[in-house]
Amino acid sequence: MKRLQERAQNRPTGESPIIRMAVRVMIPFIQLFGLYVIVHGHYSPGGGFQGGVILGASFILMALAFDLKTTTDYFSEKANAILGNAGALIFTGLGALTAILGGLWLDYSALDRIIPLGPIEWRSMGIFLVEVGVGLAVMSIMVSLYWDLASGGDMDEGL
Amino acid sequence: MKNLALLATLVTGAILLYGTKDFAPWGDPGSPAATHLSPYYIENAVEQTHVPNLVTAVLGDYRGYDTMFETVVIYCAGMAVVSVLRRPKR
Amino acid sequence: MEGILAEIVAKYNYWLYVVLMMIGFYAMIGKRNLVKKLLGMNIFQTAIILFFVSTGVKRGGGIPILDKYKVLEHGVDVAQVVNPLPHVLMLTAIVVAVSITGVALAILQRIYREYGTLEEDEILEKVGE
């Protein structure tokens, strides 16, 4: 909050304080909603893709209302790369794990041999883990696409 | 050039419109798309995975292979954009 | 005439998607500006996505989110639930469309940086020099 305020005061081109205030208030709720959409994908419309896009949109909104540097202060490029790789690795790694444990590729009921929850519960659980991986990967790629396209690859001021 | 493009578009559109003659009417429960594979998912998905949202069940479990490579596709897209646009820092 | 009209009314969704697809297709092959071509491709993809989702519709069908305990006890009537398969396929297609758009915009930016224009004719002239 403090850094956002300093950033807003130092900004040479003054944008509307109404927009900055509204975005500052909205961003935590948007991110909370994105997490809700990811983890509640079993019981309501939602899942990894949709929740990941909502999470990414919150960072894009921050970059639009303030500037690109503000976003990289809060969510560094390194963290973004780590999260994106982790998301893709969770999915493929889970597939490899089930294959190693003796099931088919991505047959989550094979995970029952590590923690016995029952094969059907593990299929539900496996879908949840996969959705989390997809959500992380999609969020990271969305933010990275916006950063590169808005600044032309320079990662400076942005739009 | 523009006229050629318009002609190609109109011919393609006319062929496709002729093709709609064989489609099932809108919202027909007995259409081929609704009678071959999807009844299996609708009847068995909840029992086999305990996930009430059928779209999530099919996306994450029955078609997990598809979704996995799709995650790889967007990952590759991100890498491609970074490698096409990023300039070395001066 | 009567027959054609009845046909259009029964399948108006497919006719609308074909018209939308024709708009996108014309923009892809008829326009000389690369950004307009990209927009045409997006319209084309939207038409395909709408077409697939509309094949999953059943008259009187509910959303494909069921009541777990009711289904485990009594089973489910297939005609009461819309087809979930096209929704899954199009969910993946939408994300692929987003990544295609992202890569295409990146390549367009690179072309603009290299040639200073996005008009096809001018780029071809500069390539020929």
Of A4 and B83, the structure prediction assigns the larger pLDDT to B83
Determine contact, residues A47/A131, Cβ cutoff 8 Å. yes
Determine contact, residues A66/A11, Cβ cutoff 8 Å. yes
- Range(s) of the domain holding residue C11: 2-128
DSSP C62: B
Determine contact, residues B28/C59, Cβ cutoff 8 Å. yes
**Cross-chain CB nearest to B60 (options A88, A127, A145):** A127
Q: Is residue A94 scored above 70 in pLDDT?
A: yes
- Number of A–B residue contacts, CB under 8 Å: 93
Q: Is residue A14 scored above 70 in pLDDT?
A: no
Q: Which of A111, A130, A139, A154 to mutate to test the interface with B (most CBs of B within 10 A)?
A: A130
Each residue's pLDDT tens digit, A107-135: 888 888 888 888 899 999 999 999 999 99
Model pLDDT, residue A99: 93
DSSP B20: G
Each residue's pLDDT tens digit, B16-35: 999 888 888 888 888 888 88
Determine contact, residues A140/B72, Cβ cutoff 8 Å. no
Taking CA A33 as the corner, what is the angle to CA A32 and CA A37, rounded to the nearest 5 degrees?
A: 120
Cα–Cα distance between A156 and B66 in angstroms, integer? 37
Cα–Cα distance between C72 and C55 in angstroms, integer? 28
CATH number of the CATH domain containing C54: 1.10.287.3510
Each residue's pLDDT tens digit, C21-33: 999 999 999 999 9
Of C2, C9, C35, the residue nearest C105 (C-alpha):
C35
Each residue's pLDDT tens digit, A22-69: 999 999 999 999 999 999 999 999 889 999 999 999 999 998 888 888
Determine contact, residues C34/C111, Cβ cutoff 8 Å. yes
Contacts of B70 in chain C (CB under 8 A): 92, 95-96
Each residue's pLDDT tens digit, C47-103: 999 999 998 888 888 888 888 888 888 888 888 899 999 999 999 999 999 999 999
Least-confidence region, from A54-68, A74-88, C1-15, C79-93 = C1-15
DSSP B31: S
The dihedral over CA atoms of A35, A40, A41, A46, expressed in degrees to the nearest 10, equals -60
What is the average per-residue pLDDT within A6-15?
59
Q: What is the 3-state secondary structure (H, E, C) of chain A?
A: CHHHHHHHHHCCCCCCHHHHHHHHHHHHHHHHHHHHHHHCCCCCCCCHHHHHHHHHHHHHHHHHHCCHHHHHHHCCHHHHHHHHHHHHHHHHHHHHHHHHCCCCCCCHHHHHHCCCCCHHHHHHHHHHHHHHHHHHHHHHHHHHHHHHHHHCCCCCCCC
How many domains does chain A fold into? 1
* A157 within a domain of the structure (yes/no): no
Q: Is residue A10 scored above 70 in pLDDT?
A: no
ipTM of the complex: 0.87
Determine contact, residues C34/C120, Cβ cutoff 8 Å. yes
Q: Which of C95, C99, C100 to mutate to test the interface with A (most CBs of A within 10 A)?
A: C95
* A47 within a domain of the structure (yes/no): yes
Q: Which of B3, B6, B55 to mutate to test the interface with C (most CBs of C within 10 A)?
A: B55
Contacts of A47 in chain B (CB under 8 A): 53, 55-56, 59-60
Model pLDDT, residue A142: 93
Model pLDDT, residue B88: 73
Q: What is the pLDDT of chain B when averaged over all its residues?
A: 89
Of A129, A97, A124, the residue nearest A111 (C-alpha):
A97
Determine contact, residues C89/B67, Cβ cutoff 8 Å. no
How many domains does chain C fold into? 1
Q: Is residue A12 scored above 70 in pLDDT?
A: no
Cα–Cα distance between A28 and C24 in angstroms, integer? 38
**Cross-chain CB nearest to C25 (options B12, B17, B27):** B12
Chain A residue set in contact with B, beta carbons under 8 Å: 41-47, 84, 87-88, 91-92, 95, 105-106, 108, 120-121, 123-124, 126-127, 130-131, 133-134, 137-138, 140-141, 144-145, 148-149, 152-154
Q: Is residue C1 scored above 80 in pLDDT?
A: no
What is the average per-residue pLDDT within A101-111?
88
- Range(s) of the domain holding residue A106: 2-151
* A14 within a domain of the structure (yes/no): yes
